[in-house]
Amino acid sequence: MTIHIGAKPGDIAETVLMPGDPYRAKWAAETFLTDVRLVNEVRGMLGYTGTWNGHKVTIQGSGMGMPSLSIYANELLRDYGAKTLIRIGSCGGMQPEVKVRDVIIAMTATTLGSPSDSIFREVNFAPCADWSLLSAATEAAKGFDVDVHVGGIYSSDTFYAERADLDEQMVRHGILGVEMEAAELYTLAARHKARALAVLTVSDHLQTGESLPSDQRERSFGDMVEIALQAAFA
Protein backbone atom coordinates (compact mmCIF):
# COMPACT_ATOMS: atom_id res chain seq x y z
CA MET A 1 0.00 0.00 0.00
CA THR A 2 1.07 3.53 -0.70
CA ILE A 3 -0.32 6.80 0.63
CA HIS A 4 -2.86 7.11 -2.18
CA ILE A 5 -3.24 3.56 -3.51
CA GLY A 6 -4.58 0.83 -1.24
CA ALA A 7 -3.68 -2.09 -3.52
CA LYS A 8 -1.54 -4.91 -2.14
CA PRO A 9 1.80 -5.74 -3.80
CA GLY A 10 0.97 -7.81 -6.88
CA ASP A 11 -2.51 -6.32 -7.24
CA ILE A 12 -1.31 -3.83 -9.85
CA ALA A 13 -0.38 -4.97 -13.37
CA GLU A 14 2.75 -3.80 -15.20
CA THR A 15 0.39 -2.21 -17.75
CA VAL A 16 -1.85 0.53 -16.39
CA LEU A 17 -4.46 2.55 -18.29
CA MET A 18 -5.13 5.91 -16.64
CA PRO A 19 -8.36 7.81 -17.28
CA GLY A 20 -8.78 11.07 -15.38
CA ASP A 21 -12.25 10.11 -14.18
CA PRO A 22 -12.42 7.21 -11.67
CA TYR A 23 -15.89 6.25 -12.94
CA ARG A 24 -14.41 5.88 -16.42
CA ALA A 25 -11.92 3.47 -14.87
CA LYS A 26 -14.84 1.45 -13.51
CA TRP A 27 -16.72 1.52 -16.82
CA ALA A 28 -13.66 0.56 -18.89
CA ALA A 29 -12.69 -2.27 -16.55
CA GLU A 30 -16.21 -3.70 -16.48
CA THR A 31 -16.59 -3.32 -20.24
CA PHE A 32 -13.23 -4.54 -21.56
CA LEU A 33 -11.61 -6.73 -18.90
CA THR A 34 -12.52 -10.12 -17.44
CA ASP A 35 -11.91 -11.34 -13.85
CA VAL A 36 -12.14 -7.71 -12.71
CA ARG A 37 -11.26 -6.81 -9.10
CA LEU A 38 -11.44 -3.44 -7.39
CA VAL A 39 -7.89 -2.79 -6.17
CA ASN A 40 -8.08 0.81 -5.02
CA GLU A 41 -10.74 3.09 -3.63
CA VAL A 42 -8.67 5.47 -1.51
CA ARG A 43 -10.24 8.96 -1.86
CA GLY A 44 -12.66 7.47 -4.40
CA MET A 45 -9.89 7.25 -7.03
CA LEU A 46 -11.04 3.84 -8.25
CA GLY A 47 -8.58 1.31 -9.66
CA TYR A 48 -9.39 -2.13 -11.11
CA THR A 49 -7.24 -5.05 -12.20
CA GLY A 50 -8.43 -7.68 -14.66
CA THR A 51 -7.46 -9.56 -17.78
CA TRP A 52 -7.54 -8.55 -21.42
CA ASN A 53 -6.75 -11.24 -24.03
CA GLY A 54 -4.78 -13.16 -21.40
CA HIS A 55 -2.81 -10.08 -20.26
CA LYS A 56 -3.04 -8.59 -16.75
CA VAL A 57 -4.14 -4.94 -16.90
CA THR A 58 -4.90 -2.29 -14.28
CA ILE A 59 -7.16 0.67 -14.98
CA GLN A 60 -6.53 3.37 -12.38
CA GLY A 61 -8.07 6.86 -12.25
CA SER A 62 -5.53 9.69 -12.22
CA GLY A 63 -7.73 12.63 -11.30
CA MET A 64 -7.59 15.90 -13.22
CA GLY A 65 -4.43 17.91 -13.77
CA MET A 66 -0.73 17.16 -13.54
CA PRO A 67 -0.37 17.39 -9.72
CA SER A 68 -3.03 14.71 -9.27
CA LEU A 69 -1.72 12.47 -12.03
CA SER A 70 1.79 12.87 -10.65
CA ILE A 71 0.75 11.32 -7.32
CA TYR A 72 -0.75 8.19 -8.91
CA ALA A 73 1.89 7.77 -11.63
CA ASN A 74 4.73 8.18 -9.11
CA GLU A 75 3.29 5.53 -6.80
CA LEU A 76 2.53 3.15 -9.69
CA LEU A 77 6.06 3.49 -11.10
CA ARG A 78 8.06 3.63 -7.86
CA ASP A 79 6.14 1.31 -5.57
CA TYR A 80 4.13 -1.06 -7.76
CA GLY A 81 6.63 -1.58 -10.61
CA ALA A 82 4.36 -0.36 -13.42
CA LYS A 83 6.19 -0.41 -16.76
CA THR A 84 3.61 0.89 -19.24
CA LEU A 85 1.26 3.78 -18.45
CA ILE A 86 -1.30 4.88 -21.03
CA ARG A 87 -3.47 7.90 -20.39
CA ILE A 88 -6.95 7.55 -21.88
CA GLY A 89 -8.88 10.78 -21.69
CA SER A 90 -10.42 13.73 -23.43
CA CYS A 91 -8.97 16.90 -24.91
CA GLY A 92 -10.04 20.12 -26.59
CA GLY A 93 -9.32 20.32 -30.33
CA MET A 94 -7.07 23.19 -31.45
CA GLN A 95 -6.68 22.79 -35.24
CA PRO A 96 -9.43 23.15 -37.86
CA GLU A 97 -8.82 19.65 -39.24
CA VAL A 98 -9.28 18.13 -35.76
CA LYS A 99 -12.97 17.45 -35.18
CA VAL A 100 -14.98 16.57 -32.11
CA ARG A 101 -15.02 12.72 -31.72
CA ASP A 102 -11.62 12.34 -33.45
CA VAL A 103 -8.80 10.60 -31.62
CA ILE A 104 -5.43 12.25 -30.96
CA ILE A 105 -2.36 10.14 -30.24
CA ALA A 106 0.07 12.45 -28.50
CA MET A 107 3.65 12.35 -29.77
CA THR A 108 4.80 15.23 -27.54
CA ALA A 109 3.26 17.25 -24.73
CA THR A 110 4.19 20.91 -24.46
CA THR A 111 3.58 22.58 -21.13
CA LEU A 112 3.91 25.93 -19.43
CA GLY A 113 4.88 24.16 -16.25
CA SER A 114 4.62 20.72 -14.70
CA PRO A 115 5.26 19.38 -11.18
CA SER A 116 8.67 18.27 -12.51
CA ASP A 117 9.80 21.79 -13.41
CA SER A 118 11.67 22.36 -10.18
CA ILE A 119 14.18 19.59 -10.95
CA PHE A 120 14.88 20.81 -14.50
CA ARG A 121 15.60 24.40 -13.45
CA GLU A 122 16.53 26.34 -16.63
CA VAL A 123 16.15 23.33 -18.95
CA ASN A 124 13.05 22.95 -21.11
CA PHE A 125 12.71 19.17 -21.07
CA ALA A 126 10.73 17.82 -24.08
CA PRO A 127 8.19 15.24 -22.83
CA CYS A 128 7.57 12.68 -25.57
CA ALA A 129 5.67 9.42 -25.96
CA ASP A 130 7.30 6.01 -26.08
CA TRP A 131 7.88 5.20 -29.73
CA SER A 132 6.81 1.54 -29.57
CA LEU A 133 3.47 2.54 -28.00
CA LEU A 134 3.01 5.49 -30.34
CA SER A 135 3.55 3.44 -33.47
CA ALA A 136 1.48 0.49 -32.20
CA ALA A 137 -1.43 2.78 -31.27
CA THR A 138 -1.28 4.48 -34.66
CA GLU A 139 -1.42 1.07 -36.34
CA ALA A 140 -4.21 -0.20 -34.05
CA ALA A 141 -6.31 2.93 -34.66
CA LYS A 142 -6.58 2.01 -38.36
CA GLY A 143 -8.96 -0.77 -37.32
CA PHE A 144 -11.51 1.70 -35.92
CA ASP A 145 -14.03 3.90 -37.66
CA VAL A 146 -12.54 7.08 -36.29
CA ASP A 147 -10.29 9.83 -37.64
CA VAL A 148 -6.92 9.79 -35.94
CA HIS A 149 -4.33 12.56 -35.62
CA VAL A 150 -0.77 12.00 -34.40
CA GLY A 151 1.27 14.97 -33.18
CA GLY A 152 1.91 17.42 -30.39
CA ILE A 153 -0.54 18.34 -27.67
CA TYR A 154 -0.55 21.00 -24.96
CA SER A 155 -0.83 20.02 -21.28
CA SER A 156 -2.37 23.02 -19.57
CA ASP A 157 -2.85 23.72 -15.87
CA THR A 158 -6.17 25.43 -16.46
CA PHE A 159 -9.38 24.21 -18.06
CA TYR A 160 -10.77 27.74 -17.96
CA ALA A 161 -7.80 29.51 -19.52
CA GLU A 162 -7.55 33.30 -19.35
CA ARG A 163 -4.50 33.68 -21.63
CA ALA A 164 -5.88 33.64 -25.19
CA ASP A 165 -2.40 34.51 -26.51
CA LEU A 166 -1.03 31.19 -25.22
CA ASP A 167 -3.68 29.19 -27.04
CA GLU A 168 -2.95 31.24 -30.15
CA GLN A 169 0.73 30.30 -30.02
CA MET A 170 -0.15 26.64 -29.56
CA VAL A 171 -2.44 26.72 -32.59
CA ARG A 172 0.20 28.59 -34.59
CA HIS A 173 2.77 25.91 -33.79
CA GLY A 174 0.56 23.04 -34.88
CA ILE A 175 -0.55 21.75 -31.48
CA LEU A 176 -3.49 19.42 -32.09
CA GLY A 177 -5.31 19.60 -28.76
CA VAL A 178 -5.23 20.65 -25.12
CA GLU A 179 -5.60 18.48 -22.03
CA MET A 180 -4.14 18.62 -18.53
CA GLU A 181 -2.00 15.54 -17.71
CA ALA A 182 0.22 14.07 -20.45
CA ALA A 183 3.38 16.21 -20.04
CA GLU A 184 3.90 15.06 -16.46
CA LEU A 185 3.07 11.45 -17.36
CA TYR A 186 5.69 11.43 -20.14
CA THR A 187 8.28 13.06 -17.88
CA LEU A 188 7.75 10.58 -15.04
CA ALA A 189 7.88 7.62 -17.42
CA ALA A 190 11.20 8.90 -18.79
CA ARG A 191 12.57 9.26 -15.25
CA HIS A 192 11.56 5.72 -14.31
CA LYS A 193 12.54 4.05 -17.61
CA ALA A 194 8.95 3.14 -18.33
CA ARG A 195 6.77 3.54 -21.41
CA ALA A 196 4.01 6.15 -21.66
CA LEU A 197 1.45 7.31 -24.17
CA ALA A 198 -1.70 9.45 -24.20
CA VAL A 199 -4.64 8.46 -26.43
CA LEU A 200 -7.31 11.17 -26.35
CA THR A 201 -10.82 11.71 -27.64
CA VAL A 202 -11.61 15.24 -28.78
CA SER A 203 -14.53 16.16 -26.50
CA ASP A 204 -14.74 19.86 -27.36
CA HIS A 205 -13.20 22.36 -29.76
CA LEU A 206 -11.61 25.65 -28.78
CA GLN A 207 -12.28 27.34 -32.12
CA THR A 208 -15.76 26.09 -33.00
CA GLY A 209 -17.09 25.91 -29.44
CA GLU A 210 -18.61 22.51 -30.29
CA SER A 211 -18.68 19.80 -27.62
CA LEU A 212 -19.47 16.10 -27.67
CA PRO A 213 -22.91 15.34 -26.21
CA SER A 214 -22.64 13.08 -23.18
CA ASP A 215 -24.61 10.26 -24.86
CA GLN A 216 -21.93 10.05 -27.56
CA ARG A 217 -18.96 10.10 -25.23
CA GLU A 218 -19.13 6.43 -24.33
CA ARG A 219 -18.55 5.10 -27.83
CA SER A 220 -15.59 7.41 -28.47
CA PHE A 221 -14.18 6.49 -25.09
CA GLY A 222 -14.57 2.78 -25.89
CA ASP A 223 -12.56 3.10 -29.14
CA MET A 224 -9.81 4.80 -27.19
CA VAL A 225 -9.64 2.05 -24.54
CA GLU A 226 -9.36 -0.63 -27.22
CA ILE A 227 -6.67 1.29 -29.11
CA ALA A 228 -4.71 1.65 -25.87
CA LEU A 229 -5.05 -2.06 -25.00
CA GLN A 230 -3.99 -3.19 -28.47
CA ALA A 231 -1.01 -0.83 -28.39
CA ALA A 232 0.11 -2.01 -24.95
CA PHE A 233 0.33 -5.64 -26.03
CA ALA A 234 1.30 -5.27 -29.72
List of residues contacting ligand ADE (CB under 6 A) = 90-92, 156, 159, 178-180, 203-204
Beta carbon of residue 2, minimum distance to ligand ADE (angstroms, whole number): 27
Taking the least distance from each CB to ligand ADE, the nearer of 111 and 230 is: 111
Taking the least distance from each CB to ligand ADE, the nearer of 50 and 87 is: 87
179 belongs to an annotated ligand binding site: yes
Tell me whether residue 223 is one of the annotated catalytic residues: no
Beta carbon of residue 149, minimum distance to ligand ADE (angstroms, whole number): 15
210 belongs to an annotated ligand binding site: no
Residues 6 or more apart in contact with residue 87 via CB below 8 angstroms: 17, 18, 19, 20, 62, 69, 181, 182, 185, 196, 197, 198, 199, 200
Enumerate the β-bridge partners of residue 94: none
Beta carbon of residue 20, minimum distance to ligand ADE (angstroms, whole number): 8
Are the C-beta atoms of residues 87 and 199 closer than 8 Å to each other? yes
3-state secondary structure of 169: helix
For 128, other C-beta atoms within 10 Å of its C-beta total: 18
204 belongs to an annotated ligand binding site: yes
Q: Taking Cα atoms as reference points, which of 229, 231, 234 lies closest to residue 51?
A: 229
For 153, other C-beta atoms within 10 Å of its C-beta total: 28
Taking the least distance from each CB to ligand ADE, the nearer of 52 and 154 is: 154
Beta carbon of residue 224, minimum distance to ligand ADE (angstroms, whole number): 13
Selected catalytic residue, list 11, 79, 117, 204? 204
Taking the least distance from each CB to ligand ADE, the nearer of 147 and 157 is: 157
203 belongs to an annotated ligand binding site: yes
Q: Taking Cα atoms as reference points, which of 81, 109, 86, 75 lies closest to residue 177?
A: 109
Tell me the residue nearest to ligand ADE as measured from the CB: 92
4 belongs to an annotated ligand binding site: yes
Name the strand (E) or helix (H) holding 15: strand 15-18
The identity of residue 217, as a single letter, is: R
Q: Which residues are annotated as a binding site for phosphate?
A: 20, 24, 43, 87-90
Q: Which residues are annotated as a binding site for a purine D-ribonucleoside?
A: 4, 179-181, 203-204
Q: Catalytic residues, which ones? A: 204
Q: Which residues are annotated as a binding site?
A: 4, 20, 24, 43, 87-90, 179-181, 203-204
